């Protein structure tokens, strides 16, 4: 349904404050068209007793969800609301016998169609009415250093994943993390924000030790832009650099073994 | 830089290799193209594939990426289906935040679910999501008219799991085959069972404390009468020293933390530093009714929201744990695992790291005595896991 209508908004489910994508077509779209990979967090039903290959749903970082909404390609669906009518129950009036009868009916129709050995399947996505949330549900993070650097790198074409494995805010990959190693341990800062120099040593050395570089970056403050023109990244080679990238400045730190 | 080279040279060969492997495996080297082969032989563990440095723009590069993606999408599109032999079905009751089990076939119930006095089995929300994700269960709503989807299951159950982080850690450990159950302190309330254990261990600690004090008092007396510690000058002087042992003992003048010497008074733990799950290694003899002491305890924290625990928080957390009694354990084990230990699972948007915190009293391990006994050097590993 999604493929024939590319303009349709991608549905990002918000459940208990976390962002998920359950629909495989949406997963393909964000990965192929918007280079947002997310993290697979579900058990893969074909090979359930391992944690190397995981399955749906895909969890998105708040920054990923917010960016897709800001770009107008996705909207946030409140799944608790969307499933409200299905899951609703009147505590004082539970008719379990009737429910069991209906379940038997449901299960028998399904097993009949399966022939000899009855089998039961679980759909991945519900076909309920969707309750989209307004953009304001994610826009609170638009003006955070994390979001600034996320957006900056995303616009430059990087794939970005959570940075826990190397103790940073994000990891930046030059291509799809399926095929390529990450290049940067990313730390977004406020422009005037101070950080301990020891962090530079620690992260710089750690990054170099795992064949990556540590990147710090911040969005230039408006009144600083003219004074720091020299720091602005020049137009990127392929001419892809959009205006919004001009107000961002980033540095990479690598630990060189001189001497 | 010299010190950099030195650092690397000093790392023992085995450790160095381990670190490298870790770094690589941490970088999620998944090659989904090998996954279809695993379907036929499920016993083999998945292998990791090769990654490139960066896109080169070549057509083979492009093909590899497309193949990998295609293989992944096919795997992700796999159906969640199970046969009637291992059928599990249940009804989700949102007001109870539990699922009532209607059909319970298959091996899962050895370690999952809890039966009430009527013999009805109930599943906790994390157990429901886990079974649904692996395609082992059908879940219905209270009216019985909808086969709830995985998405609906998340919408219904995740809020009752006390955070997605906890569910992720639960599912990760279940996938690896561990037996995982909610700890008494799961929702902050420390149950009666733990309180009893605590009082008994507190009495023991008090006793240990008194013994320790008496012992140190005796040692003090001996020092005063036999070998005075001078207020200045060398600590070891005068008298006759017949062994290095006694010299080392005399040198031990710096106070140190001793597990035996400290009394753990019960303090209230603070979220999230409470044991969320008890973990047992897989064993055929496991009984839900009498699980025995868990092999591990795990606390779950959020990498972005939570800070490193303060000493007071760790202290309060350790006070809720029983002391491990390993009389047979070697000093190396005691230093590695501590008298008590707890595993902290740190979760950042779907990625989990585990760190072990141990209550270790280094000063109690008198290395010099052992050195004298077998004159071998012993190396100790850091307790971080």
Within a domain: residue B41? Answer: no
Quote the CA–CA distance of A178 and A72 in Å, as a whole number: 26
B108 and B231 together in one domain: no
In the residue annotation, A212 being an active-site residue is answered as yes
pLDDT band at B176 (very low <50, low <70, confident <90, very high): very high
Q: Are B172 and B352 in contact (CB under 8 A)?
A: yes
- Residue A227: what pLDDT? 58
Q: Does the pLDDT value for residue B244 go beyond 60? A: yes
Q: Which pLDDT tens digit goes with each residue over A59-71?
A: 999 999 999 999 9
Select from A14, A78, A86, A168 the residue whose CB has the most chain B CBs within 10 Å, as the one to mutate to test that interface: A86
Average per-residue pLDDT in chain B? Answer: 77
- Residue B206: what pLDDT? 66
B277-280, strands of its sheet edge to edge: B179-182, B277-280, B296-302, B340-348, B351-359
Which member of A19, A212, A224, A237 is catalytic? A212
What sections of chain B are H helices per DSSP?
A: 2-10, 13-26, 35-40, 59-76, 125-133, 150-157, 164-175, 192-225, 244-251, 311-319, 331-337, 367-374
**Against a cut of 0.90, is the pTM above it?**
no
Quote the CA–CA distance of B106 and B86 in Å, as a whole number: 4
Within a domain: residue B30? Answer: no
Q: Contacts of residue B137 in chain A, CB cutoff 8 Å?
A: 122
Within a domain: residue B33? Answer: no
| CATH at residue B346 | 3.40.1350.10
Q: Which pLDDT tens digit goes with each residue over B188-237?
A: 755 444 444 444 555 666 666 666 666 666 665 555 555 556 677 777 77
Which one has a higher pLDDT value, A44 or B326?
Answer: A44
Q: Does the pLDDT value for residue B169 go beyond 50? A: yes
B155 and B90 together in one domain: yes
Enter the tokens of residue B101: 């089990």
Q: Are B30 and B66 in contact (CB under 8 A)?
A: no
Backbone torsions φ then ψ of A125, nearest 5 degrees: -115, 145
Q: Is A109 helix (H, G, I), strand (E, B) or coil?
A: helix
Q: Are A174 and A183 in contact (CB under 8 A)?
A: yes
B172 and B290 together in one domain: yes
Domain stops at, among B232, B259, B286: B259
Q: Contacts of residue B155 in chain A, CB cutoff 8 Å?
A: 13, 15, 79-80, 82-83, 87
How many A-B residue pairs are in contact by the CB < 8 A criterion? 277
A75's enclosing H/E stretch is strand A74-78
DSSP string, B247-315: HHHHH--S----TTT---------TTSS--EEEE---TT--SSS--S-SEEEEEEETTTPPPPPHHHHH
Q: Given A45, A175, A257, which is nearest B135 (Cβ)?
A: A45
Taking chain B, what is the end-to-end CA distance rounded to the nearest angstrom?
29
Enter the tokens of residue A19: 């962002």
Dihedral of the CA atoms A77, A81, A85, A90 (nearest 10)?
160
Quote the CA–CA distance of A194 and A199 in Å, as a whole number: 11
| CATH at residue B118 | 3.40.1170.20
How far A125 CA lies from chain B's nearest CA (Å)?
5
Asked whether the beta carbons of residue B1 and residue A126 sit closer than 8 angstroms, the reply is no
- Residue A242: what pLDDT? 44
In the residue annotation, A152 being an active-site residue is answered as no
- Residue B23: what pLDDT? 44
B185 and B316 together in one domain: yes
- Residue B84: what pLDDT? 82
What residues pair up with A132 in beta bridges, in sequence order?
A: A77
Domain stops at, among B214, B230, B259: B259
- Residue B9: what pLDDT? 40
Q: Does the pLDDT value for residue B8 go beyond 50? A: no
- Residue A244: what pLDDT? 52
> DSSP label at B362?
G
Is this prediction's ipTM beyond 0.90?
A: no
Within a domain: residue B48? Answer: no
Quote the CA–CA distance of B171 and B127 in Å, as a whole number: 9
∠ CA B352-B356-B357 to the nearest 5 degrees?
130
B234 and B297 together in one domain: no
A42's enclosing H/E stretch is strand A39-43
Q: Does the pLDDT value for residue B55 go beyond 90? A: no
Using alpha carbons, list the distances in angstroms from residue B240 to A130, B230, B369: 87, 16, 19
Pick the closest to residue A28 from A54, A48, A47, A10 (CA basis). A10
Q: Does the pLDDT value for residue A206 go beyond 70? A: yes
Average per-residue pLDDT in chain A? Answer: 83
Q: Does the pLDDT value for residue B10 go beyond 90? A: no
Asked whether the beta carbons of residue B144 and residue A125 sit closer than 8 angstroms, the reply is no
Cβ neighbours, 10 Å, residue A223: 7
Q: Does the pLDDT value for residue B313 go beyond 90? A: no
Q: Contacts of residue A65 in chain B, CB cutoff 8 Å?
A: none
Quote the CA–CA distance of B269 and B319 in Å, as a whole number: 9
∠ CA B206-B315-B195 to the nearest 5 degrees?
60
Q: Are A12 and A75 in contact (CB under 8 A)?
A: yes
Within a domain: residue B62? Answer: no
pLDDT band at B47 (very low <50, low <70, confident <90, very high): low
| Percentage of chain B modeled with pLDDT above 90 | 22
| Most confident by average pLDDT, A14-18, A82-86, A244-248, B326-330 | A14-18
Asked whether the beta carbons of residue B159 and residue A15 sit closer than 8 angstroms, the reply is yes
pLDDT band at B261 (very low <50, low <70, confident <90, very high): low
Q: Are A138 and A12 in contact (CB under 8 A)?
A: no
Q: Are B84 and B45 in contact (CB under 8 A)?
A: no
Pick the closest to residue B135 from A191, A151, A248, A47 (CA basis). A47
B175 and B284 together in one domain: yes
Q: Does the pLDDT value for residue B359 go beyond 90? A: no
Asked whether the beta carbons of residue B91 and residue A96 sit closer than 8 angstroms, the reply is yes
C-alpha A92 chain-centroid distance: 41
**Residue linked to tokens 């993390």:** A177
Q: Is A110 helix (H, G, I), strand (E, B) or coil?
A: helix
Select from B34, B85, B133, B162 the residue whose CB has the most chain A CBs within 10 Å, as the one to mutate to test that interface: B133
Q: Which pLDDT tens digit goes with each residue over B58-85?
A: 888 888 888 888 888 988 998 888 888 8
Asked whether the beta carbons of residue B51 and residue A87 sit closer than 8 angstroms, the reply is no
A103's enclosing H/E stretch is helix A96-113
- Residue B363: what pLDDT? 79
Quote the CA–CA distance of B73 and A103 in Å, as a whole number: 32
Quote the CA–CA distance of B325 and B344 in Å, as a whole number: 21
pLDDT band at A76 (very low <50, low <70, confident <90, very high): very high
Across residues B8-31, what is the average pLDDT?
Answer: 45
Asked whether the beta carbons of residue B53 and residue A180 sit closer than 8 angstroms, the reply is yes
B253 and B274 together in one domain: no
B240 and B156 together in one domain: no
Q: Does the pLDDT value for residue B90 go beyond 70? A: yes
| Percentage of chain B modeled with pLDDT above 70 | 69
B338 and B314 together in one domain: yes
Domain stops at, among B217, B243, B259: B259
Backbone torsions φ then ψ of A132, nearest 5 degrees: -70, 145
Q: Contacts of residue B102 in chain A, CB cutoff 8 Å?
A: 100, 103
- Residue B18: what pLDDT? 39
> DSSP label at B48?
B
In the residue annotation, A148 being an active-site residue is answered as no
Q: Are B369 and B245 in contact (CB under 8 A)?
A: yes
Pick the closest to residue B298 from B347, B339, B265 (CA basis). B347
Within a domain: residue B37? Answer: no
* Domain residue limits at B112: 84-161
B176 and B315 together in one domain: yes
CB under 8 Å to B104, separation ≥6 — which residues?
B88, B113, B121
| Most confident by average pLDDT, A82-96, B2-16, B102-116 | B102-116
Q: Does the pLDDT value for residue B288 go beyond 80? A: yes
Pick the closest to residue B31 from B88, B63, B74, B72 (CA basis). B72
A201 touches chain B (CB under 8 A): no
Domain count, chain B: 3
Q: Given B51, B142, B163, which is nearest A180 (Cβ)?
A: B51
Asked whether the beta carbons of residue A259 and residue B1 sit closer than 8 angstroms, the reply is yes
B298 and B213 together in one domain: no
Q: Are B349 and B324 in contact (CB under 8 A)?
A: no
Asked whether the beta carbons of residue B69 and residue A83 sit closer than 8 angstroms, the reply is no
Within a domain: residue B44? Answer: no
- Residue A236: what pLDDT? 44
Q: Given A52, A162, A177, which is nearest B350 (Cβ)?
A: A162
Among B40-54, B203-217, B346-360, name the one with the lowest average pLDDT: B40-54
Q: Contacts of residue B18 in chain A, CB cutoff 8 Å?
A: none
A27 touches chain B (CB under 8 A): yes
Across residues A185-205, what is the average pLDDT?
Answer: 91
Which one has a higher pLDDT value, B253 or B112?
Answer: B112
Q: Which pLDDT tens digit goes with each residue over A120-161?
A: 888 898 888 888 888 888 888 998 999 999 999 999 999 999
Q: Given B55, B147, B155, which is nearest A80 (Cβ)?
A: B155
B286 and B357 together in one domain: yes
How far A225 CA lies from chain B's nearest CA (Å)?
30
pLDDT band at B29 (very low <50, low <70, confident <90, very high): low
Which one has a higher pLDDT value, B112 or A229?
Answer: B112
Quote the CA–CA distance of B217 and B68 in Å, as a whole number: 70
Asked whether the beta carbons of residue A180 and residue B348 sit closer than 8 angstroms, the reply is no
Interface of A with B in 218-247 (CB under 8 A): none
Q: Which pLDDT tens digit goes with each residue over B130-160?
A: 999 999 999 998 888 888 999 999 999 999 9
Q: Are B299 and B343 in contact (CB under 8 A)?
A: yes
Quote the CA–CA distance of B181 and B124 in Å, as a whole number: 10
Q: Does the pLDDT value for residue B247 go beyond 50? A: yes
Within a domain: residue B136? Answer: yes
CB under 8 Å to B36, separation ≥6 — which residues?
B71, B74, B75
- Residue B154: what pLDDT? 93
């Amino acid at each position: 349904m999604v493929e024939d209508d590319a303009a349709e908004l991608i549905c990002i489910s918000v459940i208990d404050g976390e962002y998920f994508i359950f629909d495989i077509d949406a997963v393909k779209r964000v990965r192929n068209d918007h280079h947002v990979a997310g993290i697979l967090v579900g058990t893969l039903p074909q090979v359930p007793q391992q944690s190397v290959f995981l399955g749906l749903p895909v969890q998105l970082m708040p920054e990923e969800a917010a960016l897709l909404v800001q770009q107008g390609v996705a909207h946030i669906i409140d799944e608790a609301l969307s499933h409200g009518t299905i899951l609703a129950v009147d505590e004082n009036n539970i008719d379990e016998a009737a429910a069991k009868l209906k379940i038997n009916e449901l299960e028998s129709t399904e097993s009949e169609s399966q022939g000899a050995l009855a089998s039961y399947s679980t759909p991945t996505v519900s076909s309920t009415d969707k309750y989209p949330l307004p953009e304001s549900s994610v826009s609170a993070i638009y003006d955070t250093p994390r979001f600034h650097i996320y957006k900056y790198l995303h616009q430059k074409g990087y794939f970005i994943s959570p940075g826990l494995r190397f103790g940073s805010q994000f990891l930046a990959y030059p291509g799809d993390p399926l095929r390529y190693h990450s290049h940067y341990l990313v730390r977004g800062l406020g422009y005037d924000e101070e950080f301990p120099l020891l962090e530079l040593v620690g992260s710089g050395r750690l990054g170099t030790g795992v064949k990556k570089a540590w990147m710090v970056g911040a969005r230039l403050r408006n009144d600083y832009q003219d004074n720091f023109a020299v720091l602005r990244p020049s137009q990127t080679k392929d001419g892809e650099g959009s205006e919004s990238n001009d107000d961002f400045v980033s540095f990479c730190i690598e630990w060189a073994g001189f001497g | 830089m010299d010190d950099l080279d030195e650092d690397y040279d000093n790392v023992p060969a085995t450790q160095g290799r381990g670190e490298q492997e870790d770094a690589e495996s941490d970088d999620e080297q998944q090659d989904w193209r090998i996954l279809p082969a695993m379907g036929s032989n499920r016993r083999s563990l998945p292998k990791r594939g090769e990654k490139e440095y960066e896109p080169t723009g070549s057509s083979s590069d492009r093909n590899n990426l497309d193949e990998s993606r295609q293989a992944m999408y096919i795997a992700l599109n796999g159906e969640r289906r199970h046969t009637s032999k291992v059928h599990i079905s249940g009804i989700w009751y949102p007001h109870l935040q539990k699922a009532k089990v209607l059909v319970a076939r298959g091996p899962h119930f050895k370690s999952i679910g809890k039966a009430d006095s009527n013999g009805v089995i109930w599943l906790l929300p994390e157990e429901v999501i886990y079974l649904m994700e692996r395609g082992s269960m059908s879940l219905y709503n209270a009216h019985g008219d909808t086969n709830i989807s995985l998405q609906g299951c998340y919408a219904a159950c995740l809020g009752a799991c006390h955070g997605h982080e906890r569910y992720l850690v639960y599912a990760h450990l279940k996938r690896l085959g561990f037996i995982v159950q909610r700890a008494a302190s799961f929702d902050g309330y420390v149950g009666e069972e733990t309180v009893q254990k605590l009082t008994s261990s507190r009495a023991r600690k008090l006793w240990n404390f008194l013994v320790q004090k008496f012992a140190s008092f005796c040692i003090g007396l001996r020092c005063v009468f036999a070998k005075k510690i001078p207020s200045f000058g060398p600590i070891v002087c005068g008298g006759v020293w017949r062994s290095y042992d006694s010299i080392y003992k005399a040198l031990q003048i710096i106070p140190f933390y001793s597990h035996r010497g400290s009394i753990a008074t019960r303090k209230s733990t603070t979220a999230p530093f409470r044991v969320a799950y008890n973990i047992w290694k897989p064993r055929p003899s496991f009984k839900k009714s009498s699980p025995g002491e868990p092999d591990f305890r795990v606390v779950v924290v959020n990498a972005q929201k939570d800070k490193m625990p303060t000493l007071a928080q760790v202290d309060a957390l350790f006070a809720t744990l029983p002391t491990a009694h390993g009389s047979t354990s070697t000093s190396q084990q005691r230093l590695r695992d501590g008298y008590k230990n707890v595993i902290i699972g740190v979760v950042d948007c779907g990625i989990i790291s585990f760190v072990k915190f141990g209550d270790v009293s280094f000063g109690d391990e008198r290395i010099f005595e052992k050195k004298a006994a077998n004159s071998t050097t012993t190396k100790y590993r850091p307790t971080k896991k």
